[in-house]
Amino acid sequence: MSVDRLSVTVPSKVGAALRALAKARGATVSTVVTDAIEHEVRLAALDRALAEADRRFGPLADDVIARAQAELVLATNLGRSRRRRKAR
């Protein structure tokens, strides 16, 4: 695998938090930064895909969005309650 060496400047608090996060994960700072960048790249690709879908098919109706949000909240709450039961 080829790599691209970069240099970035961040506020001291961000650097300290990054190093602490890497240590907690048992990872290197480079791995944590790479994961974060990959995540942002995927989100940007999703944003572009959603914008293209809106352009081609029109935006989703408000009631469809509201129903999807309600289902997501329900699924999230069910997942939390299952995890709590397993933890006991």
**How far is residue 27's CA from residue 32's CA, in Å, rounded to a whole number?**
7
Residue 2 maps to which CATH number? 1.10.1220
Q: What is the pLDDT of residues 23-34, one digit of tens each?
A: 999 999 999 999
Q: Could you tell me which of 37, 16, 18, 40 has the C-alpha nearest to residue 27?
A: 18
Is residue 86's pLDDT more than 80?
A: no
Domain of 31, in residue numbers: 1-57
- Asked if 39 and 69 sit in the same domain, the reply is no
Q: Which two tokens stand for residue 21?
A: 């996060």
Q: What percent of the chain has pLDDT over 90?
A: 85
Q: Are residues 48 and 68 in the same domain?
A: no
Residue 83: what pLDDT? 65
In this structure, the answer to whether residues 77 and 46 fall within a common structural domain is no
CB 51 within 8 A of CB 58: no
Instruction: Indicate if 23 and 6 belong to the same structural domain.
Output: yes
